[in-house]
Amino acid sequence: MLERCRRKGDGSAAVAALKAAFAEADPALVRAGYRRAVELLAAADARGAELLEDAAPAALAYLAFPREHRHWVRTNNVQERMNCEIKRRTRVVQVFPSAASLVRLVGAVCLDQNDAWACERNFIDRRSLEPGYGREPLPAEPGGVERVLRLVEEAFDRKRRAA
C-alpha cells in the first residue's frame, strides 16, 4: 500500500491508522476502525484507499477465529519460523542429489514441526476450532466505536503532520 499512495506521508499515515484499528480486541471495533482508516485515506489518496477496500475481506478474515487464535492467524510469525527451520536444515546438506531428496527433507521438516506445534500448549488447539468454541461476544464497551474512530484519526493525522 505504501507504493500505491502518491505521497509518502499518506501511506505511512494509513499504516498508523490501521495499526490503531488492529490493536482492538472486539471485531466490531476493528472493522469500524478499518473503515475509518479507508475513509481518511480516500480523502488524501483514492488509489491507496481503493487498495485497502479491495483487501478488506482478506485483512479482516482473522476476526472469524476465536479470540485467542487471532494473533497466530493475523501475523506470519508461524510461517517465518517454518521457513527458518527449512533453511537451517537444507544449508547443512548444501547439494541435493535429486529434487525428490529435497522434497523428502523439507517434508520431514514440515511433519516434525507440525508435531511440535500440535504438542505445544500455546499454539492453536484443534479442539478450539470446533463450532461454538470461544465465540462469546465481548461485552459492549460504552463509547467504544467513538474511541476507536478518534484513535484512528489521531494516528492518521499525527503521521501526516510528521511526514
- On the question of pLDDT at 108 being above 90, the answer is yes
Residue-wise pLDDT tens digits, 33-62: 999 999 998 998 888 888 999 999 998 988
Q: How far is CA 52 from CA 4, 18, 36, 142, 158, in A?
A: 10, 10, 11, 28, 20
State residue 4's pLDDT score.
74
Q: What per-residue confidence (pLDDT) applies to 136? A: 61
**Percent of the residues in the chain that have a pLDDT greater than 70, as a whole number:** 84
Statement: residue 122 has pLDDT above 70: no
Instruction: Provide the 8-state DSSP code for 141.
Output: P
The set of residues, in sequence order, having a beta carbon less than 8 Å from that of 151 and lying 6+ positions away, is 20, 33
Q: What is the mean pLDDT of the chain?
A: 83
Is pTM beyond 0.75 here? no
Is the confidence at residue 86, as pLDDT, over 70? yes
Least confident piece of the model among 30-39, 84-93, 113-122:
113-122
